[in-house]
Amino acid sequence: MALQRQELEVFGNEALETWTKLGQGGFGSVYKARHKDWGFTVAVKLINNANSPPSSLLSKDSLSMCTALREAGHMGKASCEFVLRVYGFYEGTPPIEGVGMPYQGIVMELMEMDSVLKLLEKLAESPQRPLALRIVHEVALGMNFLHSKDIVHQDLKPSNVLLTDDLRVKLADFGLSRVSTSVLITSEKTAETGGTLAYMPPEAFDPKYEPVRAFDRYSYGILLWSIFNGKEPYKGRPDVLVKLWVKKDLKLPLDEIKNPEELGEMIELMERCWNSTPEMRPPFKDCLKTTEEVFLRHKSGIRAAVDGILNPLDSTNSGKPPESEADSHDTIDYPLITEQNSPGVPTKILTVERKAKFVTDNIPVLIQLVSAVLEIAKELGDMVHPEVLSRIQAEKTSQDKMRLFHSRILAPAGGRVKAAFFDALKKHEPALVKKLGG
Pairing of strands 86-92, 9-11: parallel
Can you tell me the distance from the alpha carbon of 418 to that of 54, in angstroms, rounded to the nearest whole number?
Answer: 54
Active site residue 239: no
Can you tell me the distance from the alpha carbon of 270 to that of 307, in angstroms, rounded to the nearest whole number?
Answer: 28
DSSP codes, 100-124: -S-EEEEEE---SS-BHHHHHHHHS
Can you tell me the distance from the alpha carbon of 400 to that of 373, in angstroms, rounded to the nearest whole number?
Answer: 10
Q: Which amino acid, one-letter code, is at 291?
A: T
Residue 314: which residues within 8 A CB-CB, separation 6 or more?
A: 352, 414, 415, 416, 417
Residue 206: which residues within 8 A CB-CB, separation 6 or more?
A: none
* Length in residues, the chain: 438
**Helix, coil or strand: residue 91:** strand
Number of Cα atoms under 13 Å in the Cβ half of residue 47: 33
Residue tagged active-site, from 61, 114, 155, 255: 155
Closest CA to 76 of 4, 126, 13: 4
Q: Is residue 427 marked as binding? A: no
First to last CA, the chain: 68
Closest CA to 172 of 61, 7, 43: 43
Can you tell me the distance from the alpha carbon of 9 to that of 304, in angstroms, rounded to the nearest whole number?
Answer: 41
Binding residues, as ranges, are: 45
Q: List binding-site positions for ATP.
A: 45
The catalytic site residues sit at: 155
